[in-house]
Amino acid sequence: MSRKLIFNVFKYNPLDKDDRPKLKTYEMDETDGMTVFVALNYIRDRLDHTLQFDFVCRAGICGSCSMVINGTPKLACKTLTSDYKDGEITLLPLPVFELIGDLSINTAKWMNDMSKDVASWIHTNEQTIIDNIELPMEPEVADEVFELDRCIECGCCIAACGTKQMRPRFKGAVALNKVARFLADPRDDRTHADMFELIGDDEGIFGCMSLLGCDDTCPKDLPLQSKLAYLRRKMVSQT
């Protein structure tokens, strides 16, 4: 027999001056293999057509369905309801990001500003000729670049960062990971000294308190702990 699930879901429309933040409770029967994403679709289809939340891929690839699930930033599509033995689940929008409504947040604006802040594109003086065959790269180097490039910009690392809560201008793990990615890329001409100008202060790598909430919550299991330590060593060498 299926068990009953209780969902306490954050509801608030910031565009409605008369609305106030609240938790609304929904009940449903659990199904085999049910994820929080599936449950949210059931709520919106059957119980509350006004519920707002984000999704695109449903496969842990796009990062759109990130939210705080029982106190921890996670992807709704990768989180099984069976993981919560008492059957009660509380859903909140990720902090830091602009709230659109209910569980829907605007990560795109923050990520776009962050990318500009750390200039997250290849910097080279070589002219790109799109008809030419791409220059070869050593397999181990390509693997390292690809590993760091798997970030889906879901925002979980930012939401879990204690430093970010205290220092609003702190760049966070997603930005620092991008710097590590371009340092590893031989096509990028920037030096460690160039990167120091981007992240060599308390808003960058020296502001990180090594609480590692980012590493704990990254749904793609990126090596954030080791890369933050690597960046700190490299940036210290520039002082």
Domains of the chain: which residue ranges? Answer: 4-105, 118-125+132-236
| Percent of the chain with pLDDT strictly greater than 70 | 100
In 3D, which of 122, 135, 117, 129 has the Cα closest to residue 174? 117
Q: Which amino acid is at 30?
A: E
User: Has domain 118-125+132-236 been given CATH number 1.10.1060.10?
Assistant: yes
Label the pairing between strands 4-11 and 72-75. Answer: unpaired
Spans in the chain with pLDDT lower than 70: 1
Facing residues of 88 across strands?
A: 6
Six-digit token string for 65: 């369905």
Give the span between the Cα atoms of 180 and 175, in whole angstroms.
9
Range list of β-strands (E), the chain: 4-11, 22-29, 66-69, 72-75, 88-92, 98-101, 104-106
Which three-class secondary structure state does DSSP give residue 222?
coil
Q: What share of the chain is helix, strand, coil (3-state, %, to 5)?
A: 40, 15, 45
Spell out the residues 6+ positions from residue 15 whose beta carbon is closer than 8 angstroms to its own.
101
Tell me which H or E stretch contains 138: none
Which three-class secondary structure state does DSSP give residue 90?
strand
Spell out the residues 6+ positions from residue 43 whose beta carbon is closer than 8 angstroms to its own.
7, 9, 26, 28, 51
pLDDT score recorded for residue 44: 97
pLDDT score recorded for residue 193: 96
In 3D, which of 119, 144, 142 has the Cα closest to residue 230? 144
Give the span between the Cα atoms of 48 and 45, in whole angstroms.
7
Contact 122, 39 (CB under 8 A): no
Tell me which H or E stretch contains 110: helix 107-117
CATH match for 4-105 among 2.40.37.10, 3.10.20.30, 3.40.50.300, 3.90.1580.10: 3.10.20.30
pLDDT score recorded for residue 126: 85
